[in-house]
Amino acid sequence: MKFKAMTALAGALAMVTGGALADADDDTLTINEEIEIITKTDAPAYIDGLSELISGWHFRSDETQQLETDDFDNPGMLGVEAAMEVWETADGSEGKSCADCHESAEETMVGVRAVYPKWNDNAEAVWTLEMAINGCRTERMGAEAWKYDGDDITNMVALISSVSRGMPMSVAVDGPAQATWEEGKELYYTRTGQLDLSCANCHEDNYGNMIRADHLSQGHTNGFPTYRLKNAKLNSVHARFKGCVRDTRAETYAPGSPEFVALELYVASRGNGLSIEGPAVRN
Amino acid sequence: MKRAISAAIAASILAVAANAEAVAPSDVAYDEYGAVAASLSGQPGNAEEGATAFGSKSIGNCVSCHAVTALADVPFPGNVGPSLDGVADRWTEAEIRGIVANAKKTYDGTIMPAFYQVDGFTRPGKAYTGKAIAVEEIEPLLSAQQIEDLVAFLVTLKEE
């Protein structure tokens, strides 16, 4: 059954590809002339559908790619700057700021983005970076939780990502996180909506192809939060997932829902080995 | 004798009914290879309308996946599906109708969406709102006549 479909698709693709258009380019990415970014690497063994991992950066135009090479040109860095101020600002009933507990983000937050989503022992659940940030706000600062995919939290995730740029993504897929990972994998391959499409249909079977004017990437999360030229702001992982699911004419899951947390863990693990780029620039 | 006559009458009434109105999505008769012999609307299609539907984002939006040289003025065709130049040399009208109505009957597991189907979806949503839709409210992506128009357009795509 599957075989028939696969060969038909392979035949169809052989007919239309061959142009340079279909491929990820061979450019290399260095940010601020010092941070070298791994944008292509071997896929981890537990990912069946990909042999080489390719950052979404390779599928963008030269002009868009260029914006990510220098922090002065990267509009996503404005969100990072805004978060640096918030980092130092006390909030909530305890009168504490992030800096009161964590000192300088440039030092204490290095490497954090690489391992999230991550199992949290106290909560006995996999936590995204957003959940960890809101955990500090509600439990330690006595402040209100930020909206899961609002600007405040997305800027803060961008700050925490930015200090790990260049480091390879390395989320854990085994141990206590494994059940959540399996759940995410299931969601990744489930076809949804009236268009009946799964993440894999677009980002595993068809990356490199054009869906109308959109050049399909492998759909990795190493560049998040991404500054999108389309909506001129930083976008969180779950906001992107929501948009992609909506585009299958499906009922989406909510940002911060257990389903999207599981999906984020699985999708992040598909990118293990690619460097963190966030805040990346995309269209 | 009497029985045979009434059966014949019944059959002709059915044929008339089929000619007069569209076949419901769940009643479409696919053969074992996924082809559909009869017009879904009971009417012939209009190739010009079909060409418009093919290129229009709000109707068929087939160009998001397929290029057609005859529609070179429609910008940015996708290449997730094959170019449809010469498609009528490869497939009969009935086969093309089957592929447009529900390509999964022809190609198991294809990425191409079913344009004349209303059930069997996971988490169907109300158009592109991301909100749920009640199962009984689901309309096919294209009407029976829009599919006939597309078929009429596609059968003109010959290279020989």
pLDDT tens track for A47-84: 999 999 999 999 999 999 999 999 999 999 999 999 99
Which of the four CATH numbers 1.10.3720.10, 1.10.760.10, 3.40.109.10, 1.10.10.10 does domain B24-154 have? 1.10.760.10
CA distance A263 to chain B (A): 16
Partner-chain contact B130 A250, CB within 8 Å: yes
Q: Which residues 6+ apart lie within 8 Å of A126 measured at CB?
A: A117, A118, A119, A120, A177, A180, A261, A262, A265
Which pLDDT band holds residue B21 (cuts at 50, 70, 90)? confident
Partner-chain contact A209 B125, CB within 8 Å: no
Q: What is the pLDDT of residues A210-221, one digit of tens each?
A: 999 999 999 999
Q: Is A8 on the interface with B (CB under 8 A)?
A: yes
Q: Is A226:A157 a contact under the CB 8 Å cutoff? A: no
Query: Could you say which of A8, A17, A248 has the minimum Cβ distance to residue B110?
Result: A8
Q: Give the pLDDT of residue B6.
A: 52
Q: Is A213:A220 a contact under the CB 8 Å cutoff? A: no
Q: Is A232 on the interface with B (CB under 8 A)?
A: no
Q: What pTM value is reported for the model?
A: 0.91
Q: What is the pLDDT of residues B9-20, one digit of tens each?
A: 444 444 444 445
A107 vs B104: CA distance, rounded Å: 54
Extended strands (E) in B5-129 = none
Query: Could you say which of A194, A209, A248 has the minimum Cβ distance to residue B138?
Result: A194
Query: CA separation (Å) from B61 to B50, B54, B107?
Result: 11, 6, 20
Domain residue spans in chain B? 24-154
Partner-chain contact A249 B125, CB within 8 Å: yes
Q: Which residues 6+ apart lie within 8 Å of A236 measured at CB?
A: A130, A148, A149, A153, A154, A157, A224, A225, A255
Average pLDDT over all residues of chain B: 90
Active site residue A202: no
Q: What single letter denotes the amino acid at residue A29?
A: L
As for the ipTM of the complex, it is: 0.90
Q: What is the pLDDT of residues B71-100, one digit of tens each?
A: 989 999 999 999 999 999 999 999 999 999
Which pLDDT band holds residue A21 (cuts at 50, 70, 90)? very low
Partner-chain contact B123 A2, CB within 8 Å: no
